[in-house]
Amino acid sequence: MNCLLIDAGNTRIKFARVEEGVVSAVHAASTDASLDFTAFTDCGIREVWISNVAGDKVAQKMIAACAPLKVTPRFIVAEVEQCGVRNGYARPEQLGCDRWASLIAAWHRAGRACLVVVCGTATTIDALSDRGEFIGGLILPGIALMQRSLTGATANLRVIEGKYADFPDNTADALLSGAIQATCGAIQRQYTLLNTTGAPVLLSGGAAGLLLPHLNLPVQGVDDMVLQGLKLISRMENYE
């Protein structure tokens, strides 16, 4: 099936075409930017699948951008069970669709208990059991958001690009290192609580590269986890 996959996050919209099961190059735009999919009008797009956590205004913008394709986009929501993953949220429909898509992608990659960590505007740390059950997860501010929250609330701090240090000797490095250490600490804590020997940590998102050197865990870097989950969901729906 020739389709277009769209991941609308809090700050960026990423999209890619899938033809015969192969994902093309991934494109990205700011959620505030205009959106134009006319380049795909001659590509035979049959379906459009969207994960949207950016709100109604962005949803309407994506619907309008899809009009030249003459395809009504399908917005995913978290289900009770889908693609082999069972949703353990107290109210399954309240789980973010981006987290749901990432969990599906992670299960099909790992096929066992794992942590699914996506580092964007927010960082999510979600756990899957050996039976493909989503057993719960954390949401915390992303690396950049942690730093901005401090500079915004503290009169004498301002955003200056820093670098990581174990024992920072300046404010810029202290802000970045503190955000990295806090995030790594949360990941390490959840990994301990998962208590499954050898469980992989699937790490994705724009800030993944900042965390990777500091995690003493069996980490696997995974690109575009939400898009991968969308691809699996579209395949399942067409199969059924």
**2 close to 43: Cβ distance less than 8 angstroms:** yes
CA 21 to chain CA centroid, nearest Å? 21
Residue type, 158: R
Question: Looking at the DSSP assignment, which residues form a beta bridge with residue 51?
Answer: 7
- Identified catalytic residue from 7, 36, 56, 98: 98
Q: 214 — phi, psi (to 5°)?
A: -110, 10
- Sign, CA dihedral 90-94-98-101, equals positive
Residue 149: how many CB atoms within 10 A of its CB? 12
Alpha-carbon separation of residue 2 from 27, 70, 157, 215, 217 (angstroms): 17, 14, 50, 38, 37
Residue with tokens 């701090």: 157
User: Is 42 an annotated catalytic residue?
Assistant: no
Rounded Cα–Cα distance for residues 101 and 81 (Å): 12
Coil, strand or helix: which one is 151? helix
DSSP one-letter code for 143: H
Residue with tokens 């724009």: 206
Catalytic residues: 98
